[in-house]
């Protein structure tokens, strides 16, 4: 039994994008119980035991043979396993998920890496899946969960409840209104073209610039990664910015006091760092692309346990100068995003997403700032503890020949600590370049946190009214 991919899902086939979640654990783990827990989840979610298949002029999800379904892979290893998994693709025609548990010699330190194709997940459902896996594991080792009985071979073919694509769950809309919205978006992107940050690696060929989501003309020049990177040694790497709980709390406090969102603060820091890398004097038009969660905005809301990609996008062009005030920029980004969501633009942006291959500028931002918000990390039974959790987006297609591209930042706060992951392909941006970018973003965020401390001190002495300023509700995106 098959389920055809909708036009939006089909875009992800060409991108080969995926979510890579990792969880570092210290203590005793029962590998057999974790393997069983993973099997129970794949049994419940059809997409986790499916593959992409050709379906006429499009694609569909179809079940894998039982012998090819993803199982927990057990191996010996340490932190290097993360890099290997980050550079190991989920190929078309193969499983859409992979789970690896690496245990260091001595059996006290473990690394779980869970990779899921973007066709069947988004950030919220990926995090929910990871936490559900550990919840199942805890129930099994503590004896509160029954050992599952595998269904008879082929039983799922009799009745499958495939989750519907989100594009079919959108509120009704007149086609003429969607056409007008598309025309307006094309006009706006034409009037306000945004600048992209040039690669700092040698340019191989003067190809035209393509957007991060483009799967059309630039695809012939794409570079596909493999388990060890490409033949020339290039690979996906990640620079990471991690704030402690204190700085994260102060960042949130500033957001409350000033009426901006944390997403706005992070986006402003990214835009300022990008502007610094364009050089020269004077203002530049930069684009901020923000994925927008649709689950909470559908009627009825869609649970994060449903394994589908339920995300739209919001692109805004902003003017950034070398001396742009960060908090003012954060407020501008936040207000623009809030107003767009109030108008329901995220639904229209989902409807016009199939136009992106023909018009990449619809989703081409100088920076891409995802934000999962504040979420709980996994909970493990006694005897084991989680020491780190990460969520990093990756894909298989990169375009070093383009000479420039958006800067990607994945933002999520696990258990009160804000982390920003900067994935990059080494044929495009070098490690030194991305480390410097990360450090610039960190400096701006720490200046925000320091401003909160200064505001609190001023309020305590009664010498200012900043703490009493009214706040404006802003969405968390």
H or E stretch at 110: strand 109-117
Q: What is the per-residue pLDDT across 228-250, written as a single tens digit (0 to 9) for each?
A: 455 568 999 999 999 999 999 99
185: CB partners within 8 A, 6+ apart: 349, 352, 362
Query: Above pLDDT 90, what percent of the chain?
Result: 77
462: CB partners within 8 A, 6+ apart: none
Lowest mean pLDDT among 3-7, 221-225, 441-445: 221-225
Give me the pLDDT at residue 452, please.
72
**Stretch 36-48: mean pLDDT, rounded?**
96
- Please report the DSSP string for 183-207 in residue order: HHHHHHHHHSPPP-EEPSSPP---P
Q: How far apart are CA 46 and CA 274, in angstroms?
A: 41
Query: Which token pair is 424?
Result: 């990059």
**What is the set of domains in the chain, with CATH numbers?**
2-157 (3.30.559.10), 168-376+395-468 (3.30.559.30)
Lowest mean pLDDT among 104-108, 314-318, 408-412, 465-469: 465-469
Give me the pLDDT at residue 107, please.
83
Q: What is the per-residue pLDDT across 49-73, written as a single tens digit (0 to 9) for each?
A: 999 999 988 999 999 999 999 999 9
Q: How far apart are CA 104 and CA 53, in angstroms?
A: 37
Q: What is the per-residue pLDDT across 108-166, written as a single tens digit (0 to 9) for each?
A: 999 999 999 999 999 999 999 999 999 999 999 998 765 655 555 555 544 578 999 99
Phi-psi sector, 396: left (phi>0), alpha (psi -120 to 50), beta: alpha
Give me the pLDDT at residue 161, please.
87
> Which CA distances in Å does 220 have to 4, 229, 400?
26, 18, 12
């Amino acid at each position: 039994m098959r389920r055809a991919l909708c036009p939006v899902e089909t875009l992800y086939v060409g991108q080969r994008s995926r979510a890579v979640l990792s969880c570092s654990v210290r203590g005793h783990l029962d590998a057999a119980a974790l393997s069983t827990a993973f099997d129970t989840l794949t049994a419940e979610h059809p997409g986790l035991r499916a593959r992409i298949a050709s379906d006429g002029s499009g694609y569909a999800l179809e079940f894998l043979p039982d012998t090819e379904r993803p199982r927990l892979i057990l191996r010996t290893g340490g932190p290097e396993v993360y890099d290997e998994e980050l550079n190991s693709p989920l190929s078309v025609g193969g499983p859409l998920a992979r789970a690896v548990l690496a245990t260091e010699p001595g059996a006290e330190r473990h690394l779980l890496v869970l990779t899921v194709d973007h066709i069947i997940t988004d950030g919220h459902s990926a995090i929910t899946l990871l936490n559900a896996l550990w919840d199942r594991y805890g129930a099994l080792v503590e004896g509160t969960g029954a050992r599952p009985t595998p269904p008879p071979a082929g039983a799922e073919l009799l009745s499958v409840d495939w989750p519907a694509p989100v594009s079919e769950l959108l509120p009704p809309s007149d086609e003429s209104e969607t056409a007008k919205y598309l025309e307006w978006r094309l006009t706006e992107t034409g009037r306000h073209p945004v600048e992209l940050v040039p690669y700092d690696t040698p340019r191989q060929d003067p190809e035209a610039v393509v957007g991060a989501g483009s799967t059309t003309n630039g695809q012939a020049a794409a570079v596909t990664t493999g388990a060890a990177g490409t033949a020339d040694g290039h690979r996906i790497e990640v620079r990471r910015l991690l704030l402690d709980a204190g700085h994260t709390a102060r960042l949130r406090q500033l957001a409350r006091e000033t009426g901006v969102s944390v997403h706005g603060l992070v986006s402003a820091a990214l835009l300022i760092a990008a502007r610094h890398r364009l050089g020269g004097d004077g203002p530049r038009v930069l684009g901020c692309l923000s994925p927008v969660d649709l689950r909470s905005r559908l009627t009825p809301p869609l649970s994060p346990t449903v394994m589908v990609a339920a995300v739209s996008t919001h692109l805004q062009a902003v003017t950034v100068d070398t001396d742009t005030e960060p908090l003012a920029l954060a407020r501008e980004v936040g207000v623009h995003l809030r107003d767009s969501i109030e108008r329901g633009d995220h639904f229209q942006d989902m409807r016009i997403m199939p136009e992106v291959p023909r018009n990449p500028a619809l989703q081409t931002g100088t920076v891409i700032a995802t934000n999962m918000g504040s979420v709980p990390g996994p909970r493990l039974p006694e005897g084991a503890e989680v020491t780190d959790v990460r969520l990093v987006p990756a894909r298989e297609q990169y375009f070093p020949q383009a000479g420039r591209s958006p800067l990607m930042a994945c933002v999520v706060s696990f258990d009160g600590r804000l982390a920003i992951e900067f994935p990059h392909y080494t044929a495009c941006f070098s490690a030194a370049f991305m480390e410097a970018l990360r450090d610039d973003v960190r400096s701006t965020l720490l200046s925000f946190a320091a401003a909160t401390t200064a505001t609190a001190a001023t309020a305590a002495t009664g010498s200012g009214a900043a703490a009493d300023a009214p706040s404006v509700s802003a969405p968390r995106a």
